[in-house]
Amino acid sequence: MYSNDDRLIIFDADGTLIDAFAAIDQTFSAHGMDIGKLENFQKRRKLLKYLGGIKEFPVNLRKQFGKQNRKALRATLTDVYREEARLYPGLAELLQDLIATPEVRVGLVTRNVTIEPELTIGKLLARHDIDINALDYLAYVPLSQTKTSAFREARTRFDINPARGYACGDEHKDYLATIQTGMHPFIVSYGFEDHQRLTTRFAVPEEVISRTPDEVCARIRHGLGIPVRD
């Protein structure tokens, strides 16, 4: 039925691998804005995520209004990502080990909104000793689209049995995209959506959620048989 016994794991970038909140917070601060606290950010609806809460909303809205202001924000965010943004602890080593495992295909799917996102992600990964060209699959998904088609394309391209496919993300839509393509989800609650929102509002099973980077690293290593480094 399948031409190989390979496994596939696809990672969402922002909020799963990359500490995107810290990068956004730093960018906002550089423009006299305030994104608020992480726990509040995680609970906001998509439309309001980057406008802050009641306290931050008026200033943020005023400073984001206008094409030039948004252009300046994007340029700063790009610089922060390329020069300072970090992967969450343990994720660089996990990626390196997965890439080095011959029978594991490693993919990355992102909605990164920086200037020339492939260059941005490449520079960020390079600072963690990861060559973006060593990834087996890389896709940029528009904000208006789900990741389902990208997940399915990666699985189909490498002729992966869905039972040997995995995807790791930080939002309920990542969970839905994963199960819609027949793969197993690894979901984290330290990124763009918190544990309560994932489980209570969107009924994501507790069993597939990791609360910390250490937990998701341990879960993926165990699930794919990737040894822990000495």
pLDDT in tens, 149-160: 999 999 999 999
The residue from 83, 102, 137 where one domain ends is: 83
Residues 122 and 11 grouped into a single domain: yes
- Tell me what pLDDT residue 165 has: 98
Residues 92 and 31 grouped into a single domain: no
The residue from 65, 83, 101 where one domain ends is: 83
* Domain total of the chain: 2
Residues 136 and 217 grouped into a single domain: yes
Closest to 98 in 3D by CA, of 184, 166, 36, 198: 166
3-state DSSP assignment of residue 219 = helix
Is residue 174 a part of any domain in this protein? yes
CATH of the domain at 138: 3.40.50.1000
- Tell me what pLDDT residue 70 has: 76
- Tell me what pLDDT residue 57 has: 38
What range defines the domain where residue 65 resides?
Answer: 20-83
Residue 163 exposure: Cα atoms within 13 Å on the Cβ side? 4
User: In the chain, what percentage of residues exceed pLDDT 90?
Assistant: 74
| Structure tokens belonging to residue 29 | 């601060």
**Contact call for residues 101 and 5 (beta carbons, < 8 A):** no
Torsion of the alpha carbons at 139, 140, 146 and 149, rounded to the nearest 10: -30
Residues with Cβ within 8 Å of 159's Cβ and at least 6 positions away in sequence, in order, are 2, 3, 4, 6
Residues 43 and 132 grouped into a single domain: no
**Contact call for residues 110 and 13 (beta carbons, < 8 A):** yes
